[in-house]
Amino acid sequence: MTIVVTVRIPDVDIERVRQVERDYPELHEQLRESITRHGCKGHRRLYRENEILDIDEWESEDDLKAFLEESGPVIRQLAELRGTGKPSDTIWNIY
């Protein structure tokens, strides 16, 4: 069953996030390859003052879990480099 996952990331300095993307392109490429390989159908990143919201559509919850297992270390490394707060995620079923 297709799902949508929303991830809220607090304590964001968007300029620092952008700088990390410029300084570590290889980490972002690893995530792009993994997210595609594991069946992500779409990804959207939104931001506002001090917060990022990621919205991802997945083929299934199992695909999401496989992505997180494989990419967890890279995600944690990027969070540390960015200095962001602890993310919170919500899984939504498509109606």
Q: Under a CB-based contact definition with an 8 Å cutoff, are residues 64 and 58 in contact?
A: yes
User: Computed over its alpha carbons, how large is the radius of gyration of the chain?
Assistant: 13
DSSP state of 51: E
- State the pTM of this model: 0.89
> At the top level of CATH, which class does the domain 3-93 belong to?
alpha beta
Quick one: pLDDT at residue 1?
A: 86
Burial label for 67, CB within 10 Å (0-12, 13-18, 19+), is: buried
Average pLDDT, the chain: 96
> What would the pLDDT profile of 21-60 be if each residue is shown by its tens digit?
999 999 999 999 999 999 999 999 999 999 999 999 999 9
Burial label for 58, CB within 10 Å (0-12, 13-18, 19+), is: buried
Asked whether residue 74 carries a pLDDT value surpassing 90, the answer given is: yes
DSSP state of 16: H
Length reported for the chain: 95
